[in-house]
Amino acid sequence: MKSSEKLLITALLLAILTLPACSSGTNSGEKREGTYSVTSLKYDSEGVKIAAELWLPEGPGPHPAVVMAHGSGRARKEFGNEMAQHFAKQGYAVLTHDKRGVGESGGVYVQRANASEENLKLLAKDISAGIDFLKGRPDIDQHQIGLWGWSQAGWIIPVVTNLQEKIRFTILLSCPTVTVGEENVYSRLTGDGSKVSGLTQEEMSAKLAERGPFGFDPLPYLKQMDMPGLWLLGEKDQSIPIPETVRILNNLIGTYKRDFIYKVYPGAGHGLRVNGALVEDFWEIQDNFLKNTVRIEFK
């Protein structure tokens, strides 16, 4: 998930430029931005300090909360600004963070073994520690904390739900349900969006089936997820294999009775964009999921 995520990060950075300024940097503090505030902070996780920002809507709460999980790149908390602003305006608290070893967070960013089981579980612990931090705040409704993530977060979020009790919902954008090995094979076949393989989708699926699953497998964790989940997927994704991801979701929904729903957008790639623009109902479908399926309540 390299070139595709670079495009996604570029798009997010462009979106960030249109947002109002928010507090960041080494100085903790609070700055009001209309209907919400943004506070810089740090919390402890596995021996290091994780730098984060907490977006809080107006009012005493307790507020429902959304915790962001990053993709595979050197992601910083600012990459979540567009998402955070949207949900903060809806009345949610939002926690974003600098990935371990990136920005102001301590620790080491793992590059070569980025998608190893060891590293994925470590990143999951960093997010779980952020949830623990939120649960200790009286202005957060600890029974209504959910997870939102892009891409590699599809392997991290299921682990987080295993570490935590009472995760209320998950929203997963362009997130794989296949193993790390299968995703790697698919990305090599497609060039991760940087080349045309000359293979049809059916031919690539045949090669994946021939190789079989290997590497970290999120399926055992997905089977245990007992909260509503929403997947948004792009039909033309060149980073994760959509037919295989959908097949696993259908099995989880049908056989294991998981409360999952998904939507595959025709013509959209890994960044969920068509002709450079986000898919038409990108925010609406998430808002409706939280209102009608999860049934989030505001106090």
**What amino acid occupies position 242?**
I
Beta strand extents in 98-175 (DSSP E only): 140-150, 167-173
DSSP β-bridge partners for residue 41? 52
- Determine what percent of the chain is predicted with pLDDT higher than 90: 84
Q: Averaged over 45-73, what is the pLDDT? A: 96
Cα separation, 228 vs 36, in Å, equals: 27
Span of 16-20, 39-43, 112-116 with lowest mean pLDDT: 16-20
Q: Which helix (H) or strand (E) holds 160?
A: helix 153-163
10 or 253, which is more confident: 253
**What pLDDT is recorded for position 192?**
76
* 299 domain residue, yes or no: no
Q: What is the mean pLDDT of residues 71-76?
A: 94
The secondary element (H helix, E strand) that includes residue 52 is: strand 48-57
Find residue 97's DSSP bridge partners: 52
In this structure, is residue 46 part of a structural domain? yes
Average pLDDT over residues 193-204: 80
Residue 251 included in any domain: yes
What is the total count of domains within the chain?
1
DSSP letters along 198-233, please? Answer: ---HHHHHHHHHHH---S---HHHHHH--S-EEEEE
121, burial (CB in 10 Å: exposed 0-12, middle 13-18, buried 19+): middle
Whether 83 is covered by a domain: the verdict is: yes
In-domain check, residue 237? yes
Is the alpha carbon torsion for 284, 289, 290, 293 positive or negative? positive
pLDDT above 70 covers a percentage of the chain that reads: 87
Q: Is the pLDDT of residue 33 over 60?
A: no
Looking at residue 59, its amino acid is G
3-state helix, strand, coil in the chain (%, to 5): 40, 25, 40
CB 27 within 8 A of CB 104: no
Task: Point out the least confidently predicted range of 24-33, 39-48, 207-216, 262-271.
Answer: 24-33
CB 143 within 8 A of CB 179: no
* pLDDT value at 69 more than 60: yes
Structure tokens at 36: 């919400």
Q: What's the pLDDT score for residue 22? A: 37
Q: Domain containing 77 — which CATH number? A: 3.40.50.1820
CB 64, CB 92: distance < 8 Å: yes
Would you say residue 108 lies in a domain? Answer: yes
Range of the domain at 265: 3-294
Domain annotation covers residue 18: yes
